[in-house]
Amino acid sequence: MGQSLVVSGLVAKRSEIAGKVEHYRQELQRLGTELGHLDAAIRLFDPDYDLGTIKTNKRGRRTQWFGPGECQRLVLETLRDAAEPLSGSALTQELVARKGLEGRREVLVAVNKTAMAVLRRLKSKDVVCRSSLPDSTRAWKLSGR
């Protein structure tokens, strides 16, 4: 009895994955056709254009830890709640704690990378600024605080 439950679960999972494979095969075929049409249009306007020189745009990978805009909201909340400027590692630790994530190294590295990108973007908009802690560590705070 237990074995049939395992087998039926595995069969269901295989069916799910096979459906995804078929979906993505069709999507790849559709995109390949679109690419062929674009190549033909380029050649129509410039027959000598070397299509091999066109760089592909890499799709950015969204982090699995935050939804859209969530990291920025958490960074701003954390800096707002902080009594003093926070170093990058202190901010990362706080974000991990607020999200309830495990403190494993790979999680900390991914969260830190995302938080630093958010901070750079906020700095360019003059929402946050860098400062120094007493031990000369670089820290972040909200602008005007």
Topology at the third CATH level for domain 70-142: Arc Repressor Mutant, subunit A (1.10.10)
Q: What is the pLDDT of residue 1?
A: 52
Q: What is the pLDDT of residue 60?
A: 67
Q: What is the pLDDT of residue 43?
A: 95
CA distances from 39 to 27, 34, 35, 45 (A): 18, 9, 6, 10
Q: Whole-structure pTM over 0.85, yes or no?
A: no
For 85, counting Cβ atoms within 10 Å of its Cβ (0-12 exposed, 13-18 middle, 19+ buried), the class is buried
Bridge partner residues of 139 (DSSP): 87, 131
Q: What is the pLDDT of residue 75?
A: 96
Per-residue pLDDT of the chain (145 residues; tens, 9 = 90+): 557 889 999 999 999 999 999 999 999 999 999 999 999 999 999 999 999 999 988 876 666 788 888 999 999 999 999 989 999 999 999 999 999 988 899 899 999 999 999 999 999 999 999 988 888 889 999 998 7
> Do residues 79 and 140 lie in contact, with contact meaning Cβ atoms separated by under 8 Å?
yes
